[in-house]
Structures are given as structure tokens and as C-alpha cells.
Homo-oligomer: A and B are copies of this chain.
């Protein structure tokens, strides 16, 4: 989180911390607090070790993000603070840029405590804009700046029709089968054209603009390579009338994440199951809101309630607003210049189908936009046991952060777009 001196705020460590999040802020004069030794003690899961560089063919193995630990265990969480530190140490610090660093350890579980934290410390965290180190680039020579992330909403639907599983011969045909009832209920949520049949689901969705289409064209998405080659999809599939990137970037989805009911082991067990359960996860786009979407799903379920059974809907704490960044943001243009310098090409604008709740929370509660400025590559396997970092990208990421901070530092004298001095030492 970066703040220009035109909107100064209190410096020094905040008086508040939760077990799962830590904040640190510094000015040009203050000693940076981003070194590992300064991190508060954390509960470290058995077998997890702090981030260590282990070189293997120009790559660095990085342990996965441990959400129980505020330690900077993912690479994006390292290069940005280290870059700030490098700027402050190497070049005598920033002249006119007040930098605040907020590290939050619950991103993988949709940041359930972040909004309360932001609301409680809004003035302390006030800033003109924010940078996020979570995300990545299309390729080492193909820079990109991400304009948006989808939001999230999720529910669990449980259907019960019997006190216990019963013999399909003795009772089959005379009682409701909850697995059938749930399959029919879920089936009613989708149209034959691949769209979601829940009334009102698309009401808030923004139309796709020419600028969006230009972004997609520039991105040059290879559907076969990404879907068939990448994850072994039988073929691309989705809402008719939209391309794959339109579906992933600009359209909401409703996925059945899981379904379970009855006997699913080997062979046959001739029962009518007593219960069935499914989990649904929606990915939302601007200007959808998770609470509204859950209400639409509940209304659909009420209107399509199967006979002779009880249906229970439960929210799963899976809720986040979508995030969309204004293309006119001057920080975006400055970030694009830096990426062009460091990665050797002008960046394209992309979007991400996944969710980073912090960005929408900053926008809503603090009134500031975030530019995702991150350097993971598609093959880095985020969340996988063998997650990795390409060392050249790690160094380029740090260089880019140093350049960007210096460029933004120049704003303090001449405003956005004014001259900036490159004082990168990396």
C-alpha cells in the first residue's frame, strides 16, 4: 500500500494487530520493518519452513502460502517488501513518497476479518492508491496489468426426505429420492445454452465494451493450449455467445463444486438415500454483490423446491465483492511504463477469473484503487506442493518495484506524469 505525501498519515507501527494479520508502515526516515526478524511470532504449521531460496535450474522452490502464518511465505509477499527495503537502503530512501505496508494472511480463505480491520483503521491506512503483489505476468517477455478480479458467493444445499437410507425395493417409488430431487433442483439452475437460469443472475452484469474486446484481442488467448493442453479439458464449454476469455474475465459463473448422496463405493447398494448435499460457488463480476446473488439462489430454490423433501440452504462464508480497476488510473499508466522498461514490451490489460477480496475492500472501505503489480508466471503452480518462482522473474519483479516506487516518488514534486529519476540499484 503506497501513499503519496499529499495524503500523509500517521507513521510508526499501528497499535492493533490480530493473530492473522500484521501491518507495518514506514517513512523515508524510519527504519524499514519488512525484515524477517521484525515479524511477529506466528503459529507455524508442522513441516512448514520459512521461504528459502533453493536454486534448481534457475528457479526457486517456494513453500506454499500458509494461511495460519503471517510469515511472508509466498513469493509475491516477499519481493514487494524487499523492493521497498532495497529502495530505502540503496538510494537513501524515497524523497516524497510515504509507504505503508499491509500484510494479511487470510487471502486464501477470502479475508473474513479484513473488512473489520480496514474499517477500524481507515484513517491510519488512508492512501492515494495501493499496489498488490498478488498475481502475475502472462510471460517473462509478455507483461500484463490486471484490471479486475471476479468476486465470490457460495452456498451449501442439503436435501432430506427420509429418516434413514431405505431399501429401494421396499420403498422405491413411494417416497422422494433426495439425490434425484437435488439433481433436478441443480439442473433447473442452468439453461441448455450453458447460461445460468437463476432469475436476475445477470441483471447487474456490465455489458462487454469495445475496450474489453480490444484487451481480449491483444491478449491473443490460445484456447486449445490453455484448456485442452493445460488442464485436459475435453473441449471449451460455457455460456453461448461469449468467447472463453469473455466467460472467464467478464461473465459470472455458477459452479457445482461438489455433490454427494447415497452409495458411491464399489458395486451396488439398493437403497433410496436419506439425504443429499451439494456445494455451489459463484464467481461474480462488477457490479454483482455476493449477498444479492445468494438471495437470488435462495429465491430460485424456493420457487423450484422439490416435493416431499426438506431443503436447507447454508452460507459458507465464501463471499467477496468483485474488483474492477479504472483504466484511467494514472498509476496504471506509470506501472505500464515500468513493465515495458523491465520486461521489454508494452503490457496488455487482462483480468483474472479468481478472487482477491482485499482489492474490493480497499476500494469500498478506503476509497482507493489497487494496481496489481506482480510477477508470478503461469507455470509457477500457485498453491501446488511444488510451487516455484523463476529467479529471473524474482529479480525483475524487485527491479520493477524499485523503478515504480522511484517513478511514483517523482509525483511528489511534479504530480502524475511528471519527470522521474531512475535510481534503481538492482
Which chain A residues have a beta carbon within 8 Å of chain B's beta carbons?
150, 152, 154, 160-164, 166-177, 179-180, 182-184, 186-188, 190, 194, 227, 231-239, 244, 247-248, 251-253, 255-264, 267-273, 276-279, 281, 283, 307-310, 316-318, 352-355, 383
The answer to whether B247 touches A272, judged by C-beta atoms less than 8 angstroms apart, is no
The answer to whether B263 touches A172, judged by C-beta atoms less than 8 angstroms apart, is no
The answer to whether B231 touches A172, judged by C-beta atoms less than 8 angstroms apart, is no
Jot down 30 A-B pairs with beta carbons below 8 A, ordered by A.
Answer: A160-B234, A162-B232, A164-B232, A167-B354, A168-B281, A169-B353, A169-B355, A170-B352, A170-B354, A171-B231, A172-B253, A172-B353, A173-B238, A173-B247, A173-B253, A173-B283, A174-B238, A175-B227, A180-B186, A182-B259, A183-B183, A183-B186, A183-B187, A186-B187, A234-B308, A235-B308, A259-B260, A259-B261, A259-B262, A268-B317
| Chain A interface mostly | mixed
Given known contacts A184-B190, A239-B173, A247-B174, A258 and B262 CB-to-CB distance under 8 angstroms: yes
Note all chain B residues with C-beta closer than 8 A to A182. Answer: 183, 259
Q: Which of A160, A182, A257, A267 gathers the greatest number of chain B CB atoms within 10 Å?
A: A257
10 interchain residue pairs of minimum CB distance: A163-B232, A169-B354, A187-B187, A237-B308, A258-B262, A260-B264, A173-B253, A173-B247, A258-B263, A176-B237
Note all chain B residues with C-beta closer than 8 A to A176. Answer: 233-235, 237
The answer to whether A183 touches B234, judged by C-beta atoms less than 8 angstroms apart, is no
Note all chain B residues with C-beta closer than 8 A to A194. Answer: 307
Note all chain B residues with C-beta closer than 8 A to A166. Answer: 231
With A163-B231, A183-B278, A255-B272 already in contact, 13 other A-B pairs whose C-beta atoms are closer than 8 Å: A152-B270, A170-B353, A171-B231, A172-B281, A174-B238, A175-B238, A180-B190, A182-B183, A194-B307, A237-B308, A259-B276, A260-B264, A264-B277
The answer to whether B253 touches A168, judged by C-beta atoms less than 8 angstroms apart, is yes
Q: CB < 8 Å: which of B164, B172, B231, B257 contacts A283?
A: B172
Nearest Cβ on chain B to A324's Cβ, whole angstroms? 15
The answer to whether B268 touches A281, judged by C-beta atoms less than 8 angstroms apart, is yes
A413 to B317 alpha-carbon distance, docked (Å): 81
A309 to B270 alpha-carbon distance, docked (Å): 28
Nearest Cβ on chain B to A266's Cβ, whole angstroms? 9
A174 to B243 alpha-carbon distance, docked (Å): 8
Q: CB < 8 Å: which of B170, B172, B227, B317 contacts A174?
A: B227
